[in-house]
Structure 1
């Protein structure tokens, strides 16, 4: 569980992207995320054969044995969300926060306290999904209205629970899409 806690803290550290969005334009933020992704991929590959101070330690502490590509999907999800939803940075930021904190909460709470399995999903729990919904909602209301935040977080919760692919890509996209629909319909 300690390893997973470190992983989720690193996951949540992506909040710097939301903070930077207040100071730099979306196009530059997208470029920065692409540059970080390329850097991390290079460090990851170099780490296979060399000890890289600080980075190798972080990778050994936080890397899942069976998943070497999670961080790639994480950045791809954020980059695509920024690209498609830069017209409303409140929505883009809310979707990114839902990914960062909702997904981390669902993993930590689900693994630690999860007892009730979700229907049609043997490796996800009701407790984890509830944690995603509550935490995702709380962080997203810092960016969008209460109704918009709730609908976006609910969509993200269902995506996290039932996505057939790595959830780091579809969570922010689906959340942002549903929030955009709410904003469009309500005006």
Structure 2
């Protein structure tokens, strides 16, 4: 798209993809710093938008398998950043404030690190021809993000097996993860990367319900759902998609 030399074009695509992600992160860092949103809402907006926006950039790359590895450098560098900030090697209050629950830099070594790792795995291993990548990213970003937002506002009725989770939040997660998955299935299908089908859509529904059940399980209070949700999506997706 960007050059007659495929490798040069893919390097440019990597830079543009990284620029999109970095721009979003900087925007949400500023909203967190200036208090435009509630801190919990700001953190979830980061959670929802960054991964999905990055996946929207995948068609910028050419068809070579090397593209998956080049694209994976973008979230891979974010893994490095999470490690450096989380370990205290780098002092980055804006990043900590926009991504942590309690303002502790060590929190970045859990949820945010798992988040970046999931995006890296989905990109480098599965890439845009695999519905498993769609399932993992969409349920992690759209699904898990909307579960928290809806659950906090409309989650008065709790799940009988986990009083820390709400019925509304779990339904919102399954719906958001499923709808986002369908959207990306149509998006990639329109460009010839995969073939849309009713069976694939049904598989996405089962995956999203399974991911929502994993997120609502009491285990999620002990094991970060940024780990359990994509693991469930990849496991179930590998069986159905």
Partners of 2:164 and 2:120 in 1: how far apart?
Answer: 28
Q: Report the alpha carbon displacement of residue 40 of structure 1 after superposing the two structures with TM.
A: 3.5
Structure 1 residue 182 corresponds to structure 2 residue 218:
no
- 2:165 partner SS: strand
- 2:232 partner SS: helix
Q: Report the alpha carbon displacement of residue 139 of structure 1 after superposing the two structures with TM.
A: 0.5
Partners of 1:115 and 1:17 in 2: how far apart?
Answer: 34
- Which range moves more in the overlay, 83-92 or 24-33? 83-92
Structure 1 residue 41 corresponds to structure 2 residue 83:
yes
Q: Report the alpha carbon displacement of residue 11 of structure 1 after superposing the two structures with TM.
A: 0.7
Work out whether residues 110 and 128 of structure 1, in 8 Å CA contact, stay in contact via their aligned partners in 2. Answer: yes
Partners of 2:116 and 2:94 in 1: how far apart?
Answer: 21
- 1:64 partner SS: coil
Q: Which has the larger radius of gyration?
A: 2
TM-score normalized by the length of structure 1 = 0.81
Partners of 2:79 and 2:211 in 1: how far apart?
Answer: 23
Query: What is the total number of aligned residue pairs between the two structures?
Result: 176
Q: Deviations over 1:107-147 (max 9, x none)?
A: 01111211122132121111100110111111011234321
TM-score normalized by the length of structure 2 = 0.65
- State the 4+ residue runs in structure 1 displaced beyond 4 angstroms: none
Residue 39 (structure 2) aligns with: 3
Work out whether residues 77 and 170 of structure 1, in 8 Å CA contact, stay in contact via their aligned partners in 2. Answer: no
Residue 210 (structure 2) aligns with: 155
Q: Deviations over 1:54-112 (max 9, x none)?
A: xx335335521174432111112223344553484332023201210111110011112
- 2:60 partner SS: coil
1:23 to 53, 60, 80: 60
Higher RCO by CA contacts (8 Å cutoff, separation 6 or greater): 1
Report the aligned-residue RMSD.
Answer: 2.3
Structure 1 residue 133 corresponds to structure 2 residue 164:
no
Structure 2 residues not aligned, in runs of 5+: 1-36, 62-66, 186-199
- 2:163 partner SS: strand
Structure 1 residues not aligned, in runs of 5+: none
- 1:112 partner SS: helix
